[in-house]
Structure 1
């Protein structure tokens, strides 16, 4: 079968875990308890350091998980094949944890605590950044509006928009977490490149 239609193991398992956790929080009586203890509850009595990891596997609603998992599947497959499964998982987790750290520091600086954070968006934004860096001239077809755009321009424009929206405090979205995931992804990619472990 053509590799394009296959899903490598880490991407597949991340999607499965995220979907199962979402179903548990949406359908089971313990759903609220899972959210209470596993969402990143910064500045609250429920905060625990492990939440910097567990928050990535929780999602607020169907739309939230659908778009995150779709982006993970779209960009993650290519990156896992190129980076290898172990390095890909390391990259994903570093971007997710790093995104939460950036969101926490900005919330602390702007006096926006307490803060509740859920979702794989920060880690997924790291993948988008990596795809744009490693395949700058690949064409991405946007959904809205439906126009083609080179990956490098899409990443730059998206990052600028997220930074602006975060600065303005627009919406109930962790915009700085998105930017943070991209930042940590950029730093990790270039660290690996300097060590000669990857090429792009």
Structure 2
């Protein structure tokens, strides 16, 4: 196993402690989850705190395992401080996009680090677009850049069709933040991986077009 950077460890521990507290303390969970009605009442902390709560141990494990595998790629590429910025801003942008899509659904609630983790994943893909990743239940590794495009296209479909109890919009918002921040922090990617950068932007541009046309 790879040595875990202290920043990754702190983030994982924070997620574990907050989630375990939420599992056993209903009032704590309700106070800090993402909830449209609460945010409208001025409880903006929910936009951040909800990213450290999870539905169950499986949800927590999957998100933290994904973070563990891709965090070091980003840390080695841009440094610890920028890695933390990508993580936090991906969390916030993911929740902000959820707020935009659900702002009139006062009952809507969500939890999980998926937006932040997706931002880190998308950042890692920009740096190593040819690494092999697995898509859902397909047992064959595919290039990471193809994975990234298919994942976001599926997220758009999930947002449009409201598939499953999944925050597709938070995932997408996290990916947007991870994409934009990575290019800002490592503009050399526009020279070394220009076509990958362009291709990975396609689902993002598509989402904004669909939003503009009110198709989603």
TM-score range, shorter chain: 0.7 to 0.9
Whether the 8 Å contact between 2:134 and 2:147 is mirrored in structure 1 is no
After TM superposition, the runs of 4+ consecutive aligned structure 1 residues lying more than 4 A away are none
Structure 2 gap ranges (5+): 194-216
**Aligned match of 2:6:** 9
The alpha-carbon distance between structure 1 residues 65 and 169, as it changes in their structure 2 partners (threshold 3 A), is same
**Aligned match of 1:43:** 37
Give the Cα separation in 1 of the matches to 2:162 and 2:130. 32
Give the Cα separation in 1 of the matches to 2:188 and 2:145. 23
**Aligned match of 1:181:** 174
With normalisation by structure 1, the TM-score equals: 0.87
Structure 1 gap ranges (5+): none
Give the Cα separation in 2 of the matches to 1:165 and 1:15. 27
The alpha-carbon distance between structure 1 residues 9 and 104, as it changes in their structure 2 partners (threshold 3 A), is same
With normalisation by structure 2, the TM-score equals: 0.81
Is residue 2:98 matched to residue 1:103?
A: yes
After TM superposition, give the deviation of residue 163 of structure 1 in Å: 0.9
- Of the three residues 94, 110, 113, the one matched with 1:120 is 113
For 1:58-117, what per-residue CA distance to the aligned partner results, in whole angstroms no more than 9, with x for missing partners? 001111111100100011122122221111001100000000000110113xx4333212
SS in 1 for 2:35: strand
Whether the 8 Å contact between 1:56 and 1:118 is mirrored in structure 2 is yes
Q: CA RMSD in A?
A: 2.1
- Of the three residues 141, 144, 165, the one matched with 1:148 is 141
Give the Cα separation in 2 of the matches to 1:49 and 1:141. 36
Give the Cα separation in 2 of the matches to 1:142 and 1:41. 30
Is residue 2:81 matched to residue 1:80?
A: no
After TM superposition, give the deviation of residue 42 of structure 1 in Å: 1.2
Whether the 8 Å contact between 2:119 and 2:174 is mirrored in structure 1 is yes
